[in-house]
Amino acid sequence: MGSLHRTQIMLEKWHYEYLKNAAERQDKSLSEVIRDILSEYVNESGSAQSRLKDIAGIGVDEEAFGRDHDKWLYGKGQQ
């Protein structure tokens, strides 16, 4: 684990109770449970770049190519 930064957050009562119970069940500190949850969230959501890669190619079309974008967007070059 790298260096840690102390911060303060305000939680609703049910958030605190949930985290406190989770920490007890997992034999961890409340801070560690929050860090684990945050790390999992960051890893799942990924970067915008990785999300774009996930959808690349889903709209493959035999007639539409990137070089033809003006034709498809603006009707330019059509007879």
Interval 6-20 mean pLDDT: 95
Is this model's pTM higher than 0.85 or not? no
Which pLDDT score is estimated for 68? 76
Tokens at 35, concatenated? 């860090």
For residues 28 and 23, give the distance between their C-alpha atoms in angstroms, rounded to a whole number: 5
Interval 33-49 mean pLDDT: 81
Interval 7-27 mean pLDDT: 96
Bigger pLDDT: 41 or 13?
13
Please say if the pLDDT value at position 48 is more than 70: no
